Amino acid sequence: MTTVDQSANGSVRHILSLSGGKDSTALAIYMKDRIPELEYVFCDTEQELPETYDYLKKLQAFLGKEITVLKYDGKGFDELLMARRGFLPSPQVRWCTDYLKIKPFEKHVGDDPCHSYIGIRADEPHRKGYISTKPNIRPQYPFIDAGLKKDDIVRILEESGIGLPTYYNWRSRSGCYFCFFQQKIEWVGLLENHPDLFAQAAGYERTDSETGERYTWSQRESLAELSDTNRVAEIKIEHARRQSFQRRPSDRTLVEVFAADTSSDEGCLICHL
């Protein structure tokens, strides 16, 4: 097996996997002139938010270089779900990450020696991101190496003109619109910003006719239950109550709240970084 240090012809590929989130986007901007041969890839689940696709188009124009879209054997989420007889992924059984994010990336790299660039910041060194078990893929952490923290990342995005993803107005992370790592308030955000996508997400939920077991995206309730007017009001009140506890002396806007660290509830870094 070839390793990063044992390249047959001496060449090493440099690849940055974008998620559509702020940190990997800022890293792409930061690395643009530092490593001109850097390859940019995006593992597309076909279930991302429209804002994410728009954000990536904006980034591609800035980079002046194509972002290669990767898929598992050309398949998106729906085809893979069918192959699993409708068994929805969950935090415990996260087949989606494996098939839609990790495998397409590893296949794209193959056995080539490769440096994989990861946007974890200096103020979150406890996070690891995606680390391949393949010995030819070596993770690189330029933000940690340069001591760059969250304020630096926001500055990089603002100075480039790209800014933060617009979904930060109501959601904390990139990834599929139905991602099961969403907080209740983010489901409400989906309901209010993309009612069509909320309805599509609800369409995936089902009850096993034999066992009566419910398969829902959000814990302990279906999206039909969550979208009830009284329940939505309850979720908003609870969210506001939590924010008032967390609020710093300087008031934070909603976009700042959602762009803040999510390390206490990390979700899946390969999808959300």
Interface with ligand SF4, residue 49, by CB under 6 A: no
Q: By C-beta, is 25 or 97 nearer to ligand SF4? A: 97
Q: By C-beta, is 96 or 259 nearer to ligand SF4? A: 96
Structural tokens at position 161: 């003109």
**CA–CA distance, 76 with 96 (Å, rounded to integer):** 10
Q: Which helix (H) or strand (E) holds 27?
A: helix 22-31
Out of 191, 201, 226, 268, the only residue in the binding site for ligand SF4 (CB under 6 A) is 268
- Distance of closest approach, residue 268 Cβ to ligand SF4, in angstroms: 4
**CA-CA-CA-CA dihedral for 56, 265, 242, 222, to nearest 10:** 80
CB 89, CB 10: distance < 8 Å: no
Interface with ligand SF4, residue 38, by CB under 6 A: no
Interface with ligand SF4, residue 97, by CB under 6 A: yes
Residues 104-143 that bind ligand SF4 (CB under 6 A): none
**CA–CA distance, 180 with 95 (Å, rounded to integer):** 12
- Distance of closest approach, residue 88 Cβ to ligand SF4, in angstroms: 9
Report DSSP letters for 215-268, one per residue. Answer: E-SSTTS-HHHHTSHHHHHHHHHHHHHHHHHH--SS---HHHHHHS--GGG---
Residues 143-182: x/- map of binding to ligand SF4 (CB under 6 A)?
A: --------------------------------xx--x-x-
Residues 201-240: x/- map of binding to ligand SF4 (CB under 6 A)?
A: ----------------------------------------
**CA–CA distance, 223 with 182 (Å, rounded to integer):** 12
- Backbone dihedral angles phi then psi of residue 45, each to the nearest 5 degrees: -85, -10
Q: By C-beta, is 46 or 228 nearer to ligand SF4? A: 46
**CA–CA distance, 236 with 188 (Å, rounded to integer):** 8
Interface with ligand SF4, residue 43, by CB under 6 A: no
Site residue total, ligand SF4 (CB under 6 A) = 13
Q: By C-beta, is 13 or 171 nearer to ligand SF4? A: 171
Q: Which helix (H) or strand (E) holds 206?
A: strand 206-207
Interface with ligand SF4, residue 56, by CB under 6 A: no
Determine the straight-line distance between the first and last CA of the chain, rounded to whole angstroms.
Answer: 29
Q: By C-beta, is 62 or 95 nearer to ligand SF4? A: 95
Contact set with ligand SF4 (CB under 6 A): 45, 89, 94, 96-97, 100-101, 175-176, 179, 181, 268, 271
